Amino acid sequence: MHGVTTEYARAHGQPAQQVVWELAGAIGSLFLDGVPVIAFNAAYDFSVLHHEMKRYSIANGELPGGCILDPYIIHKHVIPRKRGNRKLETLAVEHKVQLDNAHTSKDDALAAERLLVKLTERFPAVLDVDAAALHEQQVQWAAQQAADFQAWLRTKPGKENEVIDGRWPVRR
């Protein structure tokens, strides 16, 4: 997806434990400084980071508390009946958000921020709150979205016992 092969990562990358330590430290510092972190589909990235931190015995897998703003969860809340996928590339086109090189960290991050701004401008009655309040709303929205998806899945043959984890931003 990102064009980085295993061979390239081995030749030019850093040991995984070091990268996880540095990433956790950088994000943790932002949280401690009160800086919100914008992450599209944050549950994926923060769950991977959580499990990698646990694997390497870094802070028991826990980051300090902080605000995460997730345009994916927000979009699902303010536009719940959208047809089609909600990939960043798709939403960028739909909301006329610049995304030059999809799946590169810099451009994906910029597009996520731009999408968040567009959604805030379009839905100020819902989104014009401080970052901490919006973070807490997303916790509730993600849980409800997961419960709704689980209920829908359970109507499908063979999926009657399907369980969807609605914890956000970290799925355990």
Is 172 a domain residue? no
**83 in the same domain as 53:** no
Domain count of the fold of the chain: 3
Q: How far is CA 64 from the centre of its chain?
A: 17
Domain with 115 in it: 77-128
pLDDT for 104 equals 85
Question: What are the φ and ψ backbone dihedral angles of 89, each rounded to 5 degrees?
Answer: -60, -40
Q: How many CB atoms neighbour CB 70 within 10 A?
A: 26
Q: How many CB atoms neighbour CB 21 within 10 A?
A: 17
> What's the alpha-carbon Rg for the chain, to the nearest Å?
17
Cβ contact 171:142 at 8 Å = no
Question: What are the φ and ψ backbone dihedral angles of 169, each rounded to 5 degrees?
Answer: -90, 0
pLDDT per residue of the chain (172 residues) written in tens, 0 to 9: 566 788 988 899 999 999 999 999 999 999 999 999 999 999 999 999 999 999 999 999 999 999 999 999 999 999 998 889 999 999 999 999 999 988 888 999 999 999 999 999 999 999 999 999 999 999 999 999 999 999 999 999 999 999 999 999 999 8
Is 171 a domain residue? no
What is the rounded distance in angstroms from the CA atom of residue 73 to the CA atom of residue 77? 6
Quote the pTM value.
Answer: 0.91
Angle at 30 between CA 144 and CA 3, to 5 degrees: 75
Tokens of 145: 């979205």
pLDDT for 2 equals 61
**11 in the same domain as 65:** yes
